[in-house]
Amino acid sequence: MWIDVHTHLEMLEENTEQVLAEAREAKVHNLITIGCHPNDFEKVCGIAEKNYPVIAATLGVHPHEAKFYTPEVETIIKSKATAPFLIGIGEIGLDFFYNHSDPQIQKDVFHKQMSLAHSLNLPVEIHSRDAEDDTIAELKQWKGKLNGMMHCFSGTAKLAQAALDVGFYISLSGVITFKNAENLREIVKTIPLDRLLVETDAPFLAPIPMRGKKNKPAFVGHTAHKIAEIKQIGLEELSQQLRTNTKKLFPKWDI
């Protein structure tokens, strides 16, 4: 039994019922769908509310969309935070690769959303690309105050250790199956088993052997199998540990 801790169901072409049927067939029993843009919040929440507790949700403003973060958007997130299906804040963070929003605006909005998560006692799902030093600087401010995970981790050993040092989890995607990801697989060997999570980031980054297809939650098992291979453990042990880790990070989620 697998849990996909980061997927974008509102972006998938299939309807939710079909996605869930395929997921169940692939032994994926729970999903977290992620809100990244204020325009998507209602759809994300509607999917989760209808299908909770199989599907839970997080809401946040992605670094690409940081310029759209306003007090009104923050109020919307706060208003949803009391719902049982809303279990975290994300996807938030920094992305200096594309810079769709100004880097300083990204840093300001990242800090505001970390503060929001702290005030709501909710964990965070963090995106970091080409922004490791600034990500680490923000993380260090919240050690012992806030829990969370590095989503779709593909960074350096330095970033992984910084996240672990503040008590965060590392979520692995299909990237670890890619042929050119040997350095990342070496980092995975060093991450404690009790700090790992697994995700698809669907519809992006389909794992081998599904490369070239649009990713979907049903594919998360391929990434899990690669984790088991890297960590040299059985699938049942890995499944149980990932479920334990997920429940610790998201205690509000009744699974």
Q: In angstroms, rounded to a whole number, what is the distance separating the alpha carbons of residues 147 and 166?
A: 8
What is the pLDDT, as a whole number, of residue 233?
98
Average of per-residue pLDDT across 1-27: 96
Q: Report pLDDT digits (tens) over 57-93.
A: 999 999 999 999 999 999 999 999 999 999 999 999 9
Work out the mean pLDDT of the chain and round it to a whole number. 97
Residue 47: pLDDT band (50, 70, 90) is very high
What is the pLDDT, as a whole number, of residue 174?
98
What is the pLDDT, as a whole number, of residue 238?
98
Average of per-residue pLDDT across 135-156: 98
CB 209 within 8 A of CB 189: no
Cα-based distances in Å from 104 to 65, 90, 92, 131, 252: 13, 19, 14, 12, 32
Q: Report pLDDT digits (tens) over 194-250.
A: 999 999 999 999 999 999 999 999 999 999 999 999 999 999 999 999 999 999 999
CB 231 within 8 A of CB 65: no
Residue 39: pLDDT band (50, 70, 90) is very high
Percent of the chain predicted with pLDDT > 90: 99
